[in-house]
Amino acid sequence: MPCTTILAGKKATADGSTLIARNEDYGHAFNPKRFIVVMPDKQPKDYQSVTSKCKVDLPGNPMRYTAVPELESTMKTMGWWGEAGINAANVAMSATETSTTNSRVLGVDPMNKKGIGEELQMKLQKANDQTAKAAYDAAMKCFGDCVETGALQIKLNY
């Protein structure tokens, strides 16, 4: 069962709700998650990836957003993996669609050991995107053609 996401915007639901449904297929079992609200004053200024050697400065002036990261007990070994959420501007995002467990993708597009991986996508974008278009434009600028081509490994070096 692959990671699957269903997003329904407020114009697509009868009562104007924004809905996100998501499952995860990481490794050999389902991993317990937690739903959190990340407040602007609690967001770090930088992040050191657990899954790569990448350390990035996070954008300033972050918004409140929701996320579904790993449990605190597994974050030290697995990383943050925010996975899905909605920010204060009502921009929804799902990320981490499993490049790291697909050996065929890795055979064609091997990981850059210092690059930004799936673990970091939500932290980089969710706190600052004002519109879906802005989120797409930021992803294209930051992640390049992987968004267009479906190649999921991000190839930036910091």
Least confident of 22-26, 71-75, 134-138: 22-26
Tens of pLDDT, residue by residue over 48-66, are 888 777 787 887 888 999 9
Mean pLDDT taken over the chain:
75
Which has more pLDDT, 124 or 36? 36
The answer, yes or no, to whether residue 145 has pLDDT greater than 60, is no
3 carries an active-site annotation = yes
Q: What pLDDT shows up at residue 36?
A: 92
The answer, yes or no, to whether residue 126 has pLDDT greater than 80, is no
d(CA 5, CA 24): 9
Q: What is the pTM of this model?
A: 0.71
The answer, yes or no, to whether residue 35 has pLDDT greater than 80, is yes
Tens of pLDDT, residue by residue over 66-114, are 988 888 887 788 778 888 888 898 887 877 655 555 677 777 777 677 7
Q: What pLDDT shows up at residue 46?
A: 85
Closest Cα partner for 124 from 106, 105, 143?
143
Q: What pLDDT shows up at residue 40?
A: 92
Closest Cα partner for 154 from 129, 120, 128?
120
Q: What pLDDT shows up at residue 158?
A: 28
Judge whether 85 and 33 are in contact, CB under 8 Å.
Answer: no
Q: What pLDDT shows up at residue 11?
A: 93
Which of 3, 54, 142, 146 is labelled catalytic?
A: 3
Judge whether 116 and 52 are in contact, CB under 8 Å.
Answer: yes
The answer, yes or no, to whether residue 38 has pLDDT greater than 70, is yes
Judge whether 67 and 91 are in contact, CB under 8 Å.
Answer: no
End-to-end Cα spacing for the chain: 33
Domains in the chain: boundaries: 4-149
